Amino acid sequence: MSQTQVQETEKPQFYLTEEHHPEHSTMLGFWLYLMSDCLIFAVLFATHGVVGRNYAAGPSPADLFDLGLVAFNTAMLLLSSITYGFAMLQMERNAKMETLFWLGVTGVFGAIFLAVELYEFYHLLHEGAGPTRSAFLSSFFTLVGTHGLHVTFGIIWLITLMVQVKKHGLNPENRRRLMCLSMFWHFLDVIWIGVFSFVYLLGVLG
């Protein structure tokens, strides 16, 4: 027996075998991440609930928010969730190009959502209603801005996955990643529905 063979046999078994991350452990880990994100948004919602009416003699939500524009933006995010669902259905059919198409449509809706949100922020800042104007505006910019950062990260992740799917196809690893992004994207939808109802609707109509 050669010296190389002797060295191989002396190595522990776990060193010789290739380790794989089971799908269930990946999904469990991602669920734990989403739960931690839930805690972050719960704190931001609670903070807004406490200071959301402290206007410091400044503008109130009724003075600032355009519910028509916010409703349009909400529709963009909800449509992106639907199109992502279409992408997952095509993934189950192992239709690579159709999956990429619907992922691309999802990204477009997400980009429109971000563009409208940035326009809203710019308009508020132009009107002198920045985050330092009152406690209400501080909590508003923090909550909505945190959600916007999540959407930005989701779009970057989406583009990365589209490149991976185009290059490697719908292999098990990419399917698992698409599933994780699906949970993340729908999670952002749920959070935004809370923002739209609690921050915008209650702020203007409450």
CA distance 143 to 61: 15
Query: What is residue 16's predicted lDDT score, i.e. its pLDDT?
Result: 43
What are the CA-CA distances from residue 21 to residues 32, 85, 91, 163, 173 (Å)? 16, 25, 21, 22, 10
Kindly state the helix (H) or strand (E) to which residue 136 belongs, with its residue range. Answer: helix 135-168
Whether residue 133 contacts residue 141, with contact meaning beta carbons closer than 8 Å, is answered with no
Query: How many angstroms from the chain centroid is the CA of residue 130?
Result: 24
| Residue 159 in this model has a pLDDT that exceeds 90 | yes
**Overall domain count for the chain:** 1
Query: What is residue 24's predicted lDDT score, i.e. its pLDDT?
Result: 64
Parent domain of 107 = 29-205
Whether residue 186 contacts residue 36, with contact meaning beta carbons closer than 8 Å, is answered with no
Instruction: Identify the band that residue 190 occupies on the pLDDT scale cut at 50, 70 and 90.
Output: very high
Q: Is residue 23 included in any domain, yes or no?
A: no
Q: Is residue 133 included in any domain, yes or no?
A: yes
Query: What is residue 124's predicted lDDT score, i.e. its pLDDT?
Result: 96
By three-state DSSP, how is residue 39 classified?
helix
Q: Is residue 177 included in any domain, yes or no?
A: yes
Q: Is residue 3 included in any domain, yes or no?
A: no
pTM for the model? 0.86
9: exposed, middle or buried (C-beta count within 10 Å: 0-12, 13-18, 19+)? exposed
| Residue 13 in this model has a pLDDT that exceeds 50 | no
Q: Is residue 1 included in any domain, yes or no?
A: no
Q: Is residue 183 included in any domain, yes or no?
A: yes
